């Protein structure tokens, strides 16, 4: 159990750093969050053994959402750049 908890914590911190850097695929990030959620809430882990997980999950989810907004804004700018010559003429 200790090794699994260390692996989960490492994945948690790794994912947070990748999200801050914007270097991880958002769909993959969501899958990792779901797997971490499954790990932290399993019965054999016991209720209350990972009290910080809901807070950590919220931080990760917010980072995913912020990155999604950034990606959408970047795509909108690229679309506008592509369409701008057509709008001017």
What DSSP line would sit under 16-36, residue for residue? HHHHHHT-S-HHHHHHHHHHH
Q: What is the tens place of the pLDDT at every residue in 37-48? A: 988 887 555 555
- Label residue 51 by pLDDT band (50, 70, 90): confident
Taking Cα atoms as reference points, which of 28, 35, 14 lies closest to residue 64? 28
> What's the whole-number mean pLDDT along residues 13-29?
95
DSSP 43: G
Band of pLDDT at residue 5, cut at 50, 70 and 90: confident
- pLDDT given for residue 81 in this prediction: 84
């Amino acid at each position: 159990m200790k090794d699994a908890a260390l692996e989960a914590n490492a994945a948690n911190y790794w994912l947070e750093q990748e999200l801050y850097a914007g270097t991880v695929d958002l769909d993959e990030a969501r899958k990792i969050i779901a797997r971490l959620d499954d790990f932290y809430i399993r019965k054999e882990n016991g209720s209350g053994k990972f009290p910080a997980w809901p807070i950590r999950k919220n931080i990760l989810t917010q980072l995913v959402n912020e990155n999604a907004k950034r990606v959408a804004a970047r795509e909108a700018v690229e679309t506008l750049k592509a369409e701008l010559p057509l709008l001017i003429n």
